A and B are shown apart, each in its own frame.
Chain A
Amino acid sequence: MKAKQDFPAINEREQIGLKAPGEPYRVLIVDDSMFVTKQISQILSSEGFEVVGTAADGGEGVEKYKELFPNVDLVTMDITMPTMDGVTALEKIIEFDKNACVVMISALGKQDLVKKSLIMGAKNYIVKPLDRKKVLERIVMSLSA
C-alpha cells in the first residue's frame, strides 16, 4: 500500500484554485472591509488561487479589472461600499467584458437584489457571513459555469 505523499501530482491537482497544473485562477477581490478582503484572500490562496488585485470600492474595482484584463479570471464583488456600489461596478465590468466571471459577496440577501445581479451577469451570489466551504463551492460552480 502506498502512502498519500507518493502521489504528489494527484494531490496538486486536487487544489481547486488551479485551472491547470501550476496555473492558478487569478482573482480580483473588491470589498470595502480589509477584514473581508483578507478573509476571502486567505480562503482562496489556501486552495491555490492567486489574488492579483484588491479594491475597496466599486469604482476602484472597475479600474483594476480593466488594468488586469485579460489576466484575471474571477472577481469577488461586495455590494455595500462607499462611492460606487457593487451592482453598479458589476454592470460596468460586464459592459467592458461580457464574459467576466463576477461573484457577488454581500451581507444583503434580498431576493430582488440577488435576481438583479444574476440578470446583469453575475455568475453567483454569496450571502455573508462567509465560511470557507460556502465560498469555495460557489466559486468553483461559477468558474465551471
Chain B
Amino acid sequence: MRVEYINPFVESAYSVIQEVLNVEVKRGELYLKSSSIPVLGVAAIVGLAGDVEGRVLFDMTRESALKVANDMLKSMDMDQIDSLNDMGRATITELANMITGQAVTKLHNLGFKFDLTPPAIFTGDNMEVSDPGVEALIVPMEIPQGKIEINVAIRERT
C-alpha cells in the first residue's frame, strides 16, 4: 500500500476529532497488520472506490465508542445515551464519515481520485468485516475517551 495514502487520514482524524470533540489527540506508532480484521469491539467502516479500492475502519472498544458518542451529543446539547443505540451508532458512523470525507478531499487534491461509500458499523456481536486481502496500516490514536485505531487498507485497481 502506498504510504501517501495514509497521511491524509492521520491529518483528518486529528483535525476532525479535535474540532468535534475538542480534545487533545495523541498519535501512536504506525504499524502494519497482515490481517485487517478489527479487534476492539466496535468498528465503523467506510468503503473507498474509484482509482483505488479499499476501506477504512475505525476500531474502538464499546466503552470508548459510548464515551465518544456521548461527548459528540453533549457538544450539541443532545440527550446522553447509556448504550450504543441507533443514535449512538449514527454518531460514531458520522464521525467516521467526516474523517474519511476530509481525507478523500485531501487525496483528491493530490491527484488520487476516489469516493467513499456510506458508513456502516459493526459491533462485537456481528463483527464480520470481510478482509480485502491486502495489508492494513494501523494508526493508533489516543484520546481522553480511549483508543481509536484507524485501520486503512487500500489497493490500486488492476
Interface residues of A (CB under 8 A from B): 32-36, 38-39, 42, 80-82, 106-112, 127-129
Contacts and interface: CB of A to CB of B under 8 A. Distances in A.
B36 interface: no
A109 B98 CA distance: 10
Candidate in A81, A107, A108, A109 with the most chain B CB atoms within 10 angstroms: A107
Given A38-B78, A129-B20, A129-B98, A32 B118 contact: yes
B91 A109 contact: no
Contacts of B108: 110-112
A34 B86 contact: yes
Interface of B: 16, 19-20, 72-73, 76-78, 86-87, 90-91, 93-94, 97-98, 100-102, 104-105, 108-109, 115-118
B115 to A, nearest CB: 8
A79 to B, nearest CB: 9
Contacts, number: 62
Contact of A42 (B72, B77, B87): B77
Contact of B94 (A33, A109, A110, A111): A33
Interface centre among A82, A106, A112, A129 (most CB of B within 10 A): A129
Given A80-B116, A107-B101, A129-B98, A35 B77 contact: no
Contact of B90 (A33, A109, A112, A128): A33
Given A33-B90, A35-B72, A109 B117 contact: no
Nearest to B15: A129
Contacts of B105: 108-110, 127
Given A35-B90, A80-B117, A107 B97 contact: yes
Contacts of B116: 80, 108
A111 B104 CA distance: 12
B102 A107 contact: yes
A22 to B, nearest CB: 26
B140 to A, nearest CB: 22
B71 to A, nearest CB: 12
Contacts of A42: 76-78
Given A32-B118, A33-B93, A109 B101 contact: yes
Given A35-B87, A81-B118, A129 B76 contact: no
5 contacts: A32-B118, A81-B118, A109-B105, A127-B105, A128-B97
Contacts of A32: 118
A103 B20 CA distance: 22
